[in-house]
Amino acid sequence: MKKAKEFLKKYLIGFALGVITAISISVIAATYFPSGDVTYDNKESGLESTNVQGAIDELYKTCTSMTASDLIENLEKDPYECRYFFKGATPNNYIIFNNEIWRILSVECDNTIKIIKDDSIDQLKWNTAISNNWISASLNSYLNGTYINQLSEKAQNQITSGKWNIGSVQEGNNNLQDQINTESSKTWNGKIALPTLSEYFRTNSEPSYCSTSYLYNANLNVCKNSTWLYTSDSNWWLLSSYGSSSTLVYNLFSYANVTSDLPVRPTVYLSPDIKITGGNGSQNNPYTLE
């Protein structure tokens, strides 16, 4: 037994350092340690498990998991900010969060992952008061109070506070950089909000046709079919307020009074230490989180 334990510790440590592959360790485990009851001293390996099979499972998960930086390989770098977006009509960006289907909106340069719920939670007012100030909006209070408390404890722990751009956007902003600048002129720090108008445009794979409100409306047939965020039957709220009014906020198709009832798709930042341990991001096989 002592010899077996020393052999196991040697290869577990080597595996953790990338000396051998997950396949190799699986073969070794199957060959030398057929019993799931075999134990080992885990002080040197740094693993939680003292059971051989449990240790193998831990290491396999570590070796095959993905981080935010791994996701970036499948994304397009944003030309305006240090961010990476999933673009186009059908990207593989589905992910399980809170035992529900969400989708990855972007990966930030601080390795946080921004995700949005795949369907809406309800039709709600952006604000019950006549103001398009997100900081005091009733929807802000609901999402960061009642709603977040309804999430599982695991999901709540996976969310991190982030910076959200809440500056007003003028409808006449015909330059996306100018629009981003006005959005970022005012910020709010918190856990749950909504996508901005510019983020909606930046998920589009046809930026020359669809990067501003003017272009989007002029090329609607092209634009609505070149972003996965478009939903023909659901005109949901965005975060950006309408620049020349204190009571209007943008939604997917246009803008509406803050007291209108429209669908809401919560959006959150996942902590940078989150690991994706399964799935390929497709609709039938979404990413899963550790």
DSSP-derived secondary structure for 5-26: HHHHHHHHHHHHTTSS-HHHHH
Match 């795949």 to its residue by tokens: 118
**pLDDT tens track for 180-209:** 999 999 999 999 999 999 999 999 999 999
- pLDDT at residue 74, rounded to an integer: 73
Residue 224 vs residues 34, 175, 216, 237: alpha-carbon distances, Å: 55, 19, 8, 16
- pLDDT at residue 3, rounded to an integer: 41
- pLDDT at residue 241, rounded to an integer: 96
- Using pLDDT thresholds of 50, 70 and 90, give the confidence band for residue 170: confident
Kindly state the percentage of the chain with pLDDT values over 90: 64
89: number of CA atoms within 13 Å, CB side? 8
Higher model confidence: residue 68 or residue 44?
A: 68
Supply 102's token pair: 């969400």
Cα-flanking dihedrals φ and ψ of residue 211, to 5°?
A: -95, -5
**pLDDT tens track for 90-133:** 999 999 999 999 999 999 999 999 999 999 999 999 999 999 99
- pLDDT at residue 175, rounded to an integer: 87
Q: Give one word for 68, left, alpha or beta, with left for phi > 0 and alpha for psi -120 to 50.
A: alpha
pLDDT at 214 over 90: no
**pTM exceeds cut of 0.85:** no
Contact 139, 126 (CB under 8 A): yes
Q: Which residue(s) pair with 107 in the sheet?
A: 84, 113
Q: What is d(CA 198, CA 178) in angstroms, rounded to the nearest whole number?
A: 10
Mean pLDDT over 5-21 rounds to 44
Beta-strand relationship, 83-85 and 76-77: antiparallel
Contact 51, 39 (CB under 8 A): yes
Alpha-carbon torsion angle 227, 164, 97, 151, nearest 10: -140
- pLDDT at residue 13, rounded to an integer: 45
3-state SS, one letter per residue, for 202-219: HCCCCHHHHCCHHHHHHC
35: number of CA atoms within 13 Å, CB side? 6
Mean pLDDT over 220-224 rounds to 93
